Amino acid sequence: MLEAPTNRRDDPRARRYIVDHLPPGETITRQLLVTNHTDERRRIDVYPAAAALEESRFVFGEGRAANELTSWISLDRTTVELGPEAETRVRATIRVPPAASAGERYGVIWASTTSLPRRGGQVTQVHRVGVRMYLDIGPGGEPASDFTIGDLIPARSPQGEPSVAIGVTNTGGRALDLTGKVALTEGPGGTQAGPFDVVQGTTLAPGQSGQVSARFPAELSNGPWTLRVDLESGLVKKTATGRIEFPDPGQTGKPGTILSRLTTWWNVAIAAAGVLVVAGLTTLARRSRRRIPVGR
């Protein structure tokens, strides 16, 4: 991504993906940077395709699968030729029909290239990378984003690797991409460990509940431990702490005792204020050079 709306300049998701709220009849544009990181000249196809949220995941459609959102998208170029380490820009225009119904749509803009079969072979490889799209349609202001942290459930795999599953519910009106860290303190003898990254890939639709997880070294003792989890999606950040104890290998432990929950409210306030700047939807600011690499 080369552009993001000025009213989302502090939102890390809007610098990675196309994230917006638009009224029916609105038009926006975004510039994407396509880079060839291979040592060969490449023909690269650029095209929109469908996506959906299924089982707490952002799921891409097969091939060039279409949906309502993809029918609103046009590109100034659909094919580019790039030499080794060369780059170019592609502009995407999204035109929302005046009669579009309210709700959030999902899609992706792909950059795709095909490798020729190796000598004597018959297998053709297709490489593609892309930028996700989260486009909410409706009159007035954008629905607020929010979530709650629920149960903390410790477990150990049959191989002895400890983990914790963290329950999350999307209580807002926009999809969430959850990231975060987990730290362990006040263990046996005052020991501590981490922080550890949560496993990425959990995307929750509005009203949906799911889990994120974190894994720890196998040598970690059963505890008990004080666990602190910091989760975020865009500008919304939540923290929860609890006491947990890991079970023996191959077992799931009892849910931890929650000690506290905290919301970083000033970030939520920034997000709410930003959606009031309707003019900012068509005033685009170059914030970061989000590259779409090819061949990596």
DSSP string, 148-199: EEEEEEEEE-TT--EEEEEEEEE-SSS-EE-EEEEEEES-GGG--EEEEEPP
- Strand 291-294, strand 27-36: pairing: parallel
Same domain, 153 and 128: no
Q: Are residues 104 and 39 in the same domain?
A: yes
Q: Is 171 left (phi over 0), alpha (psi -120 to 50) or beta?
A: alpha
Q: How confident is the model at residue 54 (pLDDT cuts 50, 70, 90)?
A: very high
Do residues 153 and 118 share a domain?
Answer: no
Reference 228, options 58, 236, 237; nearest CA is: 237
Residue pLDDT, tens place only, 125-148? 678 889 999 999 999 889 999 999
Classify residue 269: in a domain, yes or no.
no
Residues 22 and 116 in one domain: yes
pLDDT at 10: 75
One domain, residues 178 and 253: yes
Pairing of strands 291-294, 162-170: unpaired
Kindly state whether residues 129 and 159 are assigned to the same domain: no
For residue 110, list its beta bridge partners. 47, 130
Share of the chain above pLDDT 70, in %: 82
Q: Which two tokens stand for residue 16?
A: 């990675």
pLDDT at res. 149: 96
Residue 31 corresponds to which tokens in the numbers above? 């510039």
Q: What pLDDT sits at residue 124?
A: 58
Last residue of a domain, one of 86, 112, 137: 137
Average pLDDT over residues 236-240: 95
Q: Tell me if the pTM is above 0.75.
A: yes
Residues 109 and 208 in one domain: no
Asked if 138 and 23 touch (Cβ cutoff 8 Å), the reply is yes
153 shares its domain with 120: no
Q: Are 100 and 115 in contact (CB under 8 A)?
A: no
Report the percentage of the chain scoring pLDDT > 90: 71
Q: Does residue 100 share a domain with residue 176?
A: no
| Position 274 in a domain | no
* Distance (Å) of CA 277 to CA 143, 178, 226, 288: 14, 25, 42, 21
In a domain, 220, yes or no: yes
pLDDT of 265:
44
Same domain, 85 and 131: yes
Closest by Cα among 101, 149, 137, 165 to 264:
149
DSSP state of 102: S
Q: Look at residue 284 and tell me if it is in a domain.
A: no
Tokens linked to 100: 């579009």
Determine which of 70-84, 194-208, 265-279 has the lowest per-residue pLDDT on average.
265-279
pLDDT of 261-293, one tens digit each? Answer: 887 644 443 334 333 333 232 323 333 334 444
**pLDDT surpassing 70 at residue 150:** yes
pLDDT score of 11:
80
Instruction: Compare 248 and 282 and report the one with higher pLDDT.
Output: 248
Q: Are strands 103-115 and 125-137 parallel, antiparallel or unpaired?
A: antiparallel
Q: What is the pLDDT of residue 87?
A: 92
| Interatomic CA distance for residues 117 and 121, integer angstroms | 6
Average pLDDT, the chain: 85
Q: Which CATH number fits the domain that encloses residue 197?
A: 2.60.40.10
Amino acid of residue 95: R
Return the sign of the alpha-carbon dihedral for residues 276, 73, 289, 64: positive
**Per-residue confidence (pLDDT) for residue 125, from 0 to 100:** 64
For residue 227, the model assigns a pLDDT of 97
Number of structural domains the chain divides into: 2
**For residues 277 and 10, what is the distance between their CA atoms, to the nearest angstrom?**
14
Containing structural domain, residue 87: 18-137
> Alpha carbon of 259 to those of 13, 15, 195, 227, 243: distances in Å?
30, 34, 18, 10, 7
Residue 113 lies in a domain: yes
In a domain, 181, yes or no: yes
Residue 93 CA: distances (Å) to CA of 31, 44, 76, 235, 287:
9, 19, 8, 26, 19
Tell me how far apart the alpha carbons of residues 105 and 177 are, in angstroms, rounded to a whole number: 15
**Residue 190, in any domain of the structure:** yes
Contact 263, 207 (CB under 8 A): no
Alpha-carbon Rg of the chain, whole angstroms? 22
